[in-house]
Amino acid sequence: QKEVEQNSGPLSVPEGAIASLNCTYSDRVSQSFFWYRQYSGKSPELIMSIYSNGDKEDGRFTAQLNKASQYVSLLIRDSQPSDSATYLCAVYNAGNMLTFGGGTRLMVKP
Amino acid sequence: NAGVTQTPKFQVLKTGQSMTLQCAQDMNHNSMYWYRQDPGMGLRLIYYSASEGTTDKGEVPNGYNVSRLNKREFSLRLESAAPSQTSVYFCASTSWQGNQPQHFGDGTRLSIL
């Protein structure tokens, strides 16, 4: 079992819809969670950090964390074609190493 | 504020050649990392430096060496390049390992013929 799992997609949503991206992790002691966006041919860009159970909102982005279920998600409201990218979930494990999921490719269709 | 700067951005090598990838950060971060990213493989950690003066192996260290030259700079060396090392290489840094997010450079696209 991979330490951080994501559905590779592609996840296709129409413009204006809510995109829901999910991530599960295996290390119960993980405390720090991040979402990165990576456009094709570019480097990963941090878009959200979350450390506590519940929701954290930043503009059109909401990160949700449920430590009991070992689940973290990213919601993108009013999705735009410019949101089309690969989204990487990253989690610090017990060894203080940041482990990345394989990424979910999101396609927002006009 | 440049963040994390990697040089070169592109490089083509012949099998057996050596080269060093350079990385520098201006954020006063303590920890620095080298990753490679291949299609379908995600980001894989090659080496890291938790703090100045220390380096450790990551998931895929074979064929690579690193040097933490000072707090700002962390270089990755390929001693004898092989086609399997064709990849995109990213350098990243963070203030404190285990809690803070990592910030990435723009990457080096390396092809080994």
Tens of pLDDT, residue by residue over B68-80, are 999 999 999 999 9
Using the beta-carbon criterion (under 8 Å), do A32 and B45 form an inter-chain contact?
no
pLDDT in tens, A93-110: 877 889 999 999 999 999
pLDDT-derived band at B28 (thresholds 50, 70, 90) equals: very high
- Give the distance from residue A85's alpha carbon to the nearest chain B alpha carbon, in angstroms: 14
**Helices and strands, counts by H and E, chain A:** 0, 11
How many CB pairs lie under 8 A apart between chains A and B?
Answer: 44
Rg (alpha carbons) of chain A, rounded to whole number: 13
CB contact under 8 A, A92 and B45: no
The C-alpha of B91 sits at a distance from chain A's nearest C-alpha, in angstroms, of: 10
Q: Are strands A4-5 and A11-14 parallel, antiparallel or unpaired?
A: unpaired
Bridge partners of B36, per DSSP, are B44, B89
**Chain B positions with Cβ closer than 8 Å to A:** 33, 40, 42-43, 45, 48, 50, 58, 90, 94, 97-107
Q: Which residue has the higher pLDDT, A70 or B40?
A: A70
Mean confidence (pLDDT) of chain B: 94
